[in-house]
Structure 1
Amino acid sequence: MVAPTTAPSRSPLAPAVAPVRHTKLFALAEMRWAAIALALFLAGLAAQLAGGPHWLWWTLYWGCYAAGGWEPGLAGLQALRDKTLDVDLLMVAAAIGAAAIGQITDGALLIVIFSTSGALEALATARTEDSVRGLLDLAPETVARVRADGSEEMVNSADLAVGDVVVVRPGERIGADATVIAGASEVDQATITGEPLPVDKISGDEVFAGTLNGTGSLRIRVDRRAEDSVVARIATLVETASRTKARTQLFIEKVEQRYSIGMVAATIAVFAIPLLAGELLQPALLRAMTFMIVASPCAVVLATMPPLLAAIANAGRHGVLAKSAVVMERLGATTQFAFDKTGTLTRGTPGVAEIHCLETGLGDDELLALAAAAEHPSEHPLASAIVNAARTKGLAVPDVDEFAAHPGRGVTARVDGRLIGVGSPHALLADLDATATAAVTAMQDRGYTAVVVTRDHRAVGVLAITDQLRPEAAAAVSAARRLTRAAPVLLTGDNQATADQLAAQVGIADVRAGLLPDDKVAAVQQLQAGGQRLAVIGDGINDAPALAAAHIGIAMGGAGSDLTLQTADAVVVRDDLTTIPAVVALSRRARRVVIANLTIAATFIGMLVIWDLVGTLPLPLGVAGHEGSTVIVGLNGLRLLRRSAWSRAAAVR
């Protein structure tokens, strides 16, 4: 399908992105034409079946031809000008040929199929490009730059130079990849690294453009220009990988060029050779038209599409959206799975995993209640985890006085006259004795985030915070291993200890941690260079480049970012990981049905072509044979709509 080119809208990181090939406006226009073609086809079919006037349903069908056929016909003629025979042009020619011998219904059906598939492809491409442009808007358009005299000026993020000093206030997004030179705060950098918890930042730490500052104020020194930032590289990686993957076609489309040329050449020969040998014009033309009808790839196209579309519909009913027939076909070729951690194998929300008391006479519940009381007024995600844990246990959380938040350090509050502090071990080093330090170290070594609770400046306990594992994660990983007979891989931006702890719970041995988005792409490319067809499952913006680069990208729909959902080839709508191996198994069954259908279609076409060439195949019989094969393969493919088809595929779980 052909679409005009436009430039993306202005954004601070716009120089990093290539011009957009499709626009959503144009894609919607294609969808409207396809919808008009479908409506006219259905109206014509209704008039025909109801015994309406011949002229009425022929007029409606010709309207369907015009609405759905002008764009693929124009694209085919443009390809022909470039000395390429496009299958779209062949389908339009076959549709016109069908109408010429009275089979206009079949021709109109072909037009509807091709116009609809082309419009859906254009719409998917346009939405992906819109999401890439939305990613670039993560970085703020303007930032507060510090002048040489210490005053501030508002400038565009795109105009920042390496070495500029920028002030980032609480709740603002960071405008550039930079190093903290003053201040302390917690920064939510899940968009870049996928870490579920905000990371404390102090002087000397690195921060990324597009990440969200917490409650403190930071002064940062710019390390990279806007177009070289990590978030800009994500956009570039996504667009490059998506453009490469867009060239992928269905198996039948890979041979369409040779088949099209061969069919046209054979039709001309079937017409010209008998004519040159002295046969009359009308019999020679009738034989050639019969040959064109019986040899046209209608049955072959329908042998491929109905099974894949039926599999797409069945998977959709069970919570997995495969975006196209190409995606459904490619899912079945998966030979290895790679999982993201946060938001994929886990829920992406922190929870209290362990409670370790350091003071005799203080119980776990009392310690948790004190921590929850101090954290209750706080908006920090760790505070929510602690408060929720206390509520889940049904603990009474006392009221507090003199609450204070200390950015990058923690909180303090007075509970029953005692000063309670909850914060990071690094910030409370002065309050930690050897026992507390050992407890913190043990928790961190096992991949937990340690939070220290103090009472009157004395450490009285340590809480272990971790992301919550999805209950079906281990079963999904096990099913993925059985299905592909290859060990799954964990790709995460989180630290090695946390990743190892999670991997041990779900049964993954190959763990690659601390990965930035381009590192994930490199890991995917390395695995695929070894011959694997990798399915990557993720949810965050930082996963989008890896999903785009993989053989198949699958997004978790519940918490997935817009960019990830649009970049992915398939989306798990209900966030059930076990549906992923099931949809791969369904795709493999669909591929077996496609092979069976192609065998049936090729047998019918071969028999009818031979009959037409060596004998005299009556046109009505040729049409009947051609349409009969089309009906057979169509019905065979629709078997995958049955609920039992999914049940058998899901048995892999």
Structure 2
Amino acid sequence: MTSTTEATSGRVLVTPPSIVRTGMQLPEVRWAAIALTLFLSGWALQLAGMPPWLWWSVYLACYACGGWEPALAGLEAARERTLDVDLLMIVAAIAAASIGQVFDGALLIVIFATSGALEVLVTQRTADSVSSLLGLAPERATLIAADGTTRVVDCRDLEVGQRILVRPGERIGADGVVIDGVSEVDQQVVTGESVPVTRQVGDDVLSGTVNGTGALTVEVTRPASESVIARIVALVENASERKAPTQLFIEKVEQAYSATVVVATVLVLGVPMMLFGSTFEDALVRAIVFMIVASPCAVVLSTMPPLLASIANAGRHGVLVKSAEVMEVVGRTSVVAFDKTGTLTEGRPEVTAITAESGWTLTQVLAIAAAVERPSEHPLGRAVVAAADDRDLEVSRVAEFRALPGRGVSGRVDGHTVVVERADSDQATGTLVRVIVDSADVGRIELVDRLRDDTTAAVDDVLTVTSEPVMVLTGDHRAAAQQIADRAGIGAVHAELLPEDKARIISDVERSGHRVLLVGDGINDAPALMAASTGVAMGRHGSDLALDTADAVIVRDDLHAVAALIRLSRTARRYVTANLCIAATVIITLVTWDLAGNLPIPLAVAGHEGSTILVALNGTRLLRQSAWTAPLSPPR
């Protein structure tokens, strides 16, 4: 089976390969409609008592319109020495016509073609729910030139570092960061947030989201080809080409099963004539029915629709899952591990404590430190300046500023030589810097990486869906790691790790029989992301290597998505199991009826194709919002 990508009106339509019968594309829906019209016309002529040659001709035209495409696909498969379900159906229809039951054969062609068309229309919802995001991205944006003038340009031509003006009510033309203005932005189409969120200087915005009542100046951080919307579509395309383990197993046994059906059909044809005296026509009808009801159409369609619908649903909520295989494996997670810096924490320090020596106040220590740190680009320096700004302190200007590599910064403030440098402290839970004025210590400032607002609640959510304690893996020293773990409610702490140490720990846990899901963001997390059953990268500030290595990406760094993704995967697995049970039950029931009784061809066709449509429809239920927000399921 192959996947198809069709360009229509500037959009990319992705047709998942294992959902749609070979060669069945949207244009063939028209052929199914023509076949149905011809069938109804032939039936009307037959009931009206018209000459047999007339309604036979109409039925044969129905055969041609509804059966040419499946027949071609079946013959192509036969040339590759494989058996195709389409070929089995065509053979059954021709066999029916050969014994004079052209009506039954035409009915089989029509229902088979119509069910195939319905499968395409149903499963296309999964692809449309993702690829339609491309239509949300505006084609044009207002570019702000270096001299302040503006002009309208194509969004696809925007480059990283350029600035665009987003007026009230407009869609944002590129992924970027706000550098001027305040507004509320409706992000529901991309992230699933039900209410607009406030975006101001320093906040990220996404292409295709809708600006509210304020004007924003946005600096482009990603080209159009790498925007969140484009990545969602690309990842779903890739997911369509990578099969889940269950799907791979089904496709592996499909050929053997189809060959078995052919052999069994021959036996169903020959045994009644040899042992029970059945006529050739009665035995052939029973064999035709057997070939129809034993075909594995519904089994083949049981797996991919739920998994691809889940991938689309996760994508709408800001989680990019790279394959159906990943979506299936996530649900088996028993241990979740987090990197610390940039994952559990914001990845940026904040001032948590200030001490002052005799003769100095806390405010004076912070103000003079901020003065000398003002020109610095170091994260610690920016944190000190931010703390002074938050307190509205009056900060003097610095002269003779110098960066001291590996130590800190220095400069002259109000005629005094000021040095801000790191202080050695094995007991510190964060980073300690000392402030020196004219060679005398005047105070110290402690900075700690800030815990994300959602970390504690997200860890609690994870604990409800896994069977083992949550782990934290970090290269930071143990005291800092333990403090973060205690605040987040994490029991297992592994600190002072090199990248290979993280990968080793993950591998050890995997060998003990657990499936590990690791969440990280840095280059040093890449080996561990590869070692884990599922690697998940933080999308906003994750390194390129982490994003490329991970199996899934949390676009907006929402840690609540970890538990939600595990829950969604388990729901998808339940749908797959239900679909397989439905398909197997229908096949067993209809085969038993045919062998033990007298199953009419129309009823056999309706039952077989009806189960195929049912499993496809059942899978698309995972596109609903409730599939993402359902109550947390217990670990399995």
TM-score tier, shorter chain, comes to: 0.5 to 0.7
What is the match of residue 562 of structure 1? 544
Is the 2:586–2:608 Cα contact (8 Å) retained in structure 1?
yes
Distance 1:36 1:57 in 2: 21
The question of 1:605 aligning with 2:587 is answered: yes
Shift in Å at residue 608 of structure 1? 0.9
Change (3 A) 1:600 1:373: same
Shift in Å at residue 466 of structure 1? 2.5
Is the 1:452–1:463 Cα contact (8 Å) retained in structure 2?
yes
The question of 1:269 aligning with 2:268 is answered: no
Distance 1:36 1:484 in 2: 35
Gaps of 5+ in 2: 4-11, 39-60, 95-107, 128-240
What is the match of residue 369 of structure 1? 367
Distance 2:89 2:118 in 1: 9
Distance 1:61 1:342 in 2: 60
What is the match of residue 447 of structure 1? 429
Distance 2:253 2:387 in 1: 65
1:252-305 Cα distance to aligned partner (Å, 9 max, x none): 532543453144123223225533745676665554443333222221233333
Q: Which amino acid aligns with 1:350?
A: P
Is the 1:92–1:111 Cα contact (8 Å) retained in structure 2?
no
4+ residue segments displaced more than 6 Å: 29-40, 50-61, 63-66, 108-118, 279-282
Shift in Å at residue 415 of structure 1? 0.6
Q: Secondary structure at the match of 1:42?
A: coil
What is the match of residue 466 of structure 1? 448
**1:115-514 alignment, distance < 5 Å:** 249-258=244-253, 260-272=255-267, 274-275=269-270, 277=273, 287-357=286-356, 359-425=357-423, 441=425, 444-514=426-496
Normalising by the residue count of structure 1, what TM-score does the alignment of the two structures yield? 0.63
Distance 1:36 1:621 in 2: 23
What is the match of residue 29 of structure 2? 45
Q: Secondary structure at the match of 2:403?
A: strand
Change (3 A) 1:31 1:308: closer
Q: Which amino acid aligns with 2:544?
A: D
Change (3 A) 1:52 1:631: closer
Q: Secondary structure at the match of 1:445?
A: coil
What is the match of residue 104 of structure 1? 113
Shift in Å at residue 493 of structure 1? 2.3
- The alignment covers a number of residue pairs equal to 472
Distance 1:115 1:93 in 2: 24
1:213-268 Cα distance to aligned partner (Å, 9 max, x none): xxxxxxxxxxxxxxxxxxxxxxxxxxxxxxxxx99843253254345314412322
Is the 1:44–1:61 Cα contact (8 Å) retained in structure 2?
no
Is the 1:477–1:506 Cα contact (8 Å) retained in structure 2?
yes
Is the 2:250–2:300 Cα contact (8 Å) retained in structure 1?
no
What is the match of residue 224 of structure 1? none
Q: Taking every aligned residue pair, what percent have the same amino acid on both sides?
A: 45
1:320-348 Cα distance to aligned partner (Å, 9 max, x none): 22233322222221111111112211122
Is the 1:582–1:649 Cα contact (8 Å) retained in structure 2?
no
Shift in Å at residue 51 of structure 1? 8.3
Distance 1:539 1:94 in 2: 51
Shift in Å at residue 406 of structure 1? 2.1
Change (3 A) 1:583 1:594: same
Q: Which amino acid aligns with 1:384?
A: R
Distance 1:56 1:391 in 2: 78
**1:531-542 alignment, distance < 5 Å:** 531-542=513-524
1:566-622 Cα distance to aligned partner (Å, 9 max, x none): 332222122110121122122222222322222222111101111222333322211
1:528-582 Cα distance to aligned partner (Å, 9 max, x none): 1111111111122222222222122222111122332233222212211012112
The question of 1:580 aligning with 2:562 is answered: yes
1:356-376 Cα distance to aligned partner (Å, 9 max, x none): 22x223222221221111011
What is the match of residue 500 of structure 2? 518
Change (3 A) 1:410 1:94: farther
Q: Which amino acid aligns with 2:28?
A: G
